[in-house]
């Protein structure tokens, strides 16, 4: 059989080696976060090696090696003998801290370690709740994206009732409340997210408290339902059941807004969707990335009419209308 070499560009050797040693960087970051190392660096400016050694009980020479590795990775900088943080995301005192999200990412290691078994024997693991929890702990990463996304949608949410389904820490709720202070928003999720959700509301959106309510049961009908980054964690049958259930909570001509990762129906080159599709294989029993056409077909099968598809970045937004009567 004739073979065709389809390589168009050779990967840089450094990039290749960085991929191979990626686990080293991940482990160094994970360990540093567990030590609260970036907090210690932030709070000290003299005798940092000694301070870290005393707090963590790590030998001074090993502390020095760890700090120098973090400088190489770009997570610390060094001026004379003083180490400085380079990222606003790694200190727990920062409003942009994402340490909880990263800690959940690291917990996927066991699942990815089983990649051989999953691929060769098709024995999938159910790690979906961890992935969902990780997604819901990404407020500081997601909120700026959601604010930008809302500005692209040609809808006025004032004087409407909105359900933010599986809201997590509430980036969609807060972005809506900030832009549309007359929108009435119910944020639905399990009780474990209620405390953090309410703390964010009190801190950032005091004027909107009467308009926002965290709920753990859905009883009302809505003009809009937000379904963000959720469908990919489950298979086709569960997605159908979910969409039918959500349609019952939409008013006639109410709209569902779906923001998720989708494969393009056209071959446009490499996409993050391909890697996330493999992640669904590794971490879920039946999840996977739909194509946009597959998602539209699911919506039509469950009683929705496709109203619009917005080519937003990094992922598209599907808008579908409920027609009950």
Which residues 6+ apart lie within 8 Å of 105 measured at CB?
134
Tell me what pLDDT residue 21 has.
Answer: 86
Distance CA 26, CA 273 (A): 22
Which range has the worst mean pLDDT, 92-101, 140-149, 161-170, 316-325? 316-325
Residue-level pLDDT at 323: 77
pLDDT at 7 over 70: no
Which pLDDT value is given to residue 13? 84
pTM of this structure:
0.85
Q: Which residue has the higher pLDDT, 9 or 165?
A: 165
Q: How far is CA 264 from CA 101, 261, 272, 275, 315, in A?
A: 27, 9, 11, 14, 10
Distance CA 259, CA 120 (A): 32
Contact 166, 188 (CB under 8 A): yes
pLDDT one-digit tens code per residue, 133-167: 888 888 888 999 999 999 999 999 999 999 999 99
What's the rounded Cα separation, in Å, for the pair 61 and 63? 5
CA distances from 98 to 90, 205, 255 (A): 6, 21, 32
The residues, ordered by sequence, that sit 6+ positions from 145 with a Cβ below 8 Å of its Cβ are 314
The closest of 241, 183, 229 to 208, measured between CA atoms, is 183
Percentage, residues of the chain above pLDDT 90: 67
Between strands 161-165 and 222-228, the pairing is: parallel
Give φ, ψ of 23 to 5 degrees: -65, -30
Tell me the sheet residues that pair with 83: 78
pLDDT of residue 30: 95
Alpha-carbon gap, residue 316 to 319, rounded angstroms: 10
Segment 17-26, tens digit of pLDDT:
888 888 899 9
Residue 207: predicted pLDDT: 61
Average per-residue pLDDT in the chain? 90
Count of other CB atoms within 10 angstroms of residue 178: 16
Q: pLDDT tens digits for 178-212?
A: 899 899 999 999 999 999 888 888 776 666 567 89
Interatomic CA distance for residues 152 and 308, integer angstroms: 12
Kindly state the DSSP code that residue 88 receives in the 8-state scheme.
Answer: T
């Amino acid at each position: 059989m004739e073979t065709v070499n389809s390589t168009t560009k050779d990967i840089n050797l450094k990039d290749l080696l960085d991929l191979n040693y990626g686990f080293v960087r991940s482990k160094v970051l994970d360990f540093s976060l567990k030590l609260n190392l970036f907090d210690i660096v932030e709070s000290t400016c003299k005798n940092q090696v000694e301070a870290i050694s005393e707090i963590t009980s790590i030998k001074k020479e090993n502390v020095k090696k760890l700090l120098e590795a973090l400088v190489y990775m770009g997570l610390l900088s060094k001026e004379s003998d003083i180490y400085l943080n380079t990222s606003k995301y790694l200190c727990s005192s920062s409003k942009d801290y994402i340490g909880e999200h990263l800690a959940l990412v690291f917990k996927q290691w066991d699942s990815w370690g089983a990649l051989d078994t999953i691929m060769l024997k098709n024995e999938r693991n159910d790690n979906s709740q961890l992935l969902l929890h990780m997604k819901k702990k990404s407020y500081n990463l997601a909120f700026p994206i959601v604010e930008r996304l809302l500005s692209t949608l040609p809808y006025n949410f004032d004087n409407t009732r909105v359900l933010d389904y599986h809201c997590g820490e509430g980036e969609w709720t807060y972005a809506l409340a900030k832009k549309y202070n007359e929108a009435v928003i119910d944020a639905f999720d399990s009780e474990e997210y209620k405390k953090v959700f309410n703390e964010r509301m009190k801190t950032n959106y005091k004027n909107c408290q009467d308009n926002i309510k965290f709920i753990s049961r859905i009883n009302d009908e809505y003009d809009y339902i937000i379904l963000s980054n959720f469908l990919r964690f489950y298979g086709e049958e569960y997605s159908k059941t979910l969409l039918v259930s959500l349609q019952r909570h939409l008013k006639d001509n109410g709209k569902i807004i779906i923001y998720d990762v989708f494969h393009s129906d056209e071959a446009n080159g490499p996409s993050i969707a391909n890697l996330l599709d493999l992640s669904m294989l590794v971490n879920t029993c039946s999840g996977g990335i739909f194509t946009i056409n597959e998602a539209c077909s699911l919506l039509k099968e469950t009683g929705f009419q496709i109203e619009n598809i917005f080519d937003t970045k990094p992922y598209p937004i599907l808008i579908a209308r409920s027609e009950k009567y």
